[in-house]
Amino acid sequence: MRIARFTTGEDPVYGLVDGAGEKIAEVTGDPLYQRIELTGATHRVEDVRLLAPVIPRSKIIGIGKNYADHAAEMGGEPPAEPLMFLVPNTAVVGPGDPVVLPPQSSEVHYEGELAVVIGRLCKDVEPEDALGVIFGYTCANDVTARDLQRGDGQWARAKGFDTFSPLGPWIETDLDISDLRLVTRRDGEVVQDGTTADMVHGVAALISHASKAFTLLPGDVILTGTPAGVGPIESGQRVEVEIEGIGTLSNPVIRH
C-alpha cells in the first residue's frame, strides 16, 4: 500500500494512492495506529495538497556516513558502528513545502535518503526480527547546514532547523529495499545516483542498533544515510529525491 496524508483544505486525512500515483482513496483514521476503512471518497492526487506522510511523535533518528562513497567525499571511513543523531520533529515538512535557508548558515546541502517508518513499539530488536517492526518507507532529504555541522562539533542544529527534514510523497508499505536506485536532482540535474544496496549498515542492522539505545515508537523515522554527491542548495532552486518503488519528493528552496 501507498499511504499518503493530505488535505483538501480541511483537517489532514489519510488515503491510499494507486500504483500510478494519480488517484487517492480516502480512509478513516490514522493507519499507523488504527484500523482503516475506505470512506468512499476519491481524489486526483494533483487536486489535493500532500502533507508529510508522518509527523514523528517521538523522534527522527539520523544515520551519518552510511555509504562508503559519501564517507569518502566527507574525508573519512564509514564508522564501524552506525553513527546516530537525533532530529526534532519540528524539522519535518511535506512534499512541495519550501526548505527555508537559515541566516546562520551560508552552506546548506541536500542529502537524498531512504527513510524507514517504524510501525510498532519495540526495544532491543535483533536484526533478524527488524523487518517486523517496519511500517513502511518514504523519501527524505536530510538537509544539512554543512558549515554549522563542522563548527558546532555535533549535529543537532545543523540538521535540526525547521524545514530541514522533508518527507514524502507517501509511505510505501510493501517494498524490498535491498537494491533500490536513489536519485537526487537539483533543478533537474542529477547530483546523486546511488543504490540502497550500498548502505554500509543495512536497515535491519540500523533498527537493531537504534532500538538497543532507544525505545522505538510507531511513527518514529530512521534516515538511513546518503550516497555520494552531496552539494549546496541556493534560494530559488528545487531538490527532488526519487527512490525506485516509492516516488519523488520535491521541495523548493527559499531564503526569507
* Interface residue list for Mg ion (CB under 5 A): 111, 142, 226
Contact 122, 194 (CB under 8 A): no
The SS3 call for residue 91 is helix
In the bound state with Mg ion, the residue whose beta carbon lies nearer, of 31 and 229, is: 229
* Minimum separation from the CB atom of position 175 to Mg ion (A): 20
Give 111 or 242: the residue with its C-beta nearer to Mg ion.
Answer: 111
Min dist. Cβ of residue 16 to Mg ion (A)? 29
**Alpha-carbon gap, residue 17 to 241, rounded angstroms:** 19
Query: CB 48 → Mg ion: shortest distance, Å?
Result: 29
CB-based contact 134:120 (threshold 8 Å): no
φ and ψ at residue 127, rounded to 5 degrees? -55, -35
CB of 206 to Mg ion, least distance (A): 12
Q: Report the distance separating Cα 169 and Cα 192, nearest Å.
A: 19
| CA 239 – CA 241 distance, rounded (Å) | 7
Q: Nearer to Mg ion by C-beta: 97 or 142?
A: 142
Of 226 and 250, which has the nearer Cβ to Mg ion? Answer: 226
Of all residues in the shown chain, the one whose CB is closest to Mg ion is: 142
- Of 255, 212, 218, the closest CA to residue 234 belongs to 255
In this structure, the number of other CB atoms found within 10 A of the CB of residue 12 comes to: 14
> What CA dihedral angle connects 176, 181, 182 and 187, to 10 degrees?
-140
Instruction: Give the nearer residue to Mg ion in terms of CB position, either 26 or 240.
Output: 240
Whole-angstrom distance, CA of residue 125 vs CA of residue 133: 9
CB of 62 to Mg ion, least distance (A): 6
Considering just the CA atoms, what is the radius of gyration of the chain in Å?
17
Residue 24 Cβ vs Mg ion, minimum distance, rounded to whole Å: 29
Cβ proximity to Mg ion, 15 vs 229, nearer residue: 229
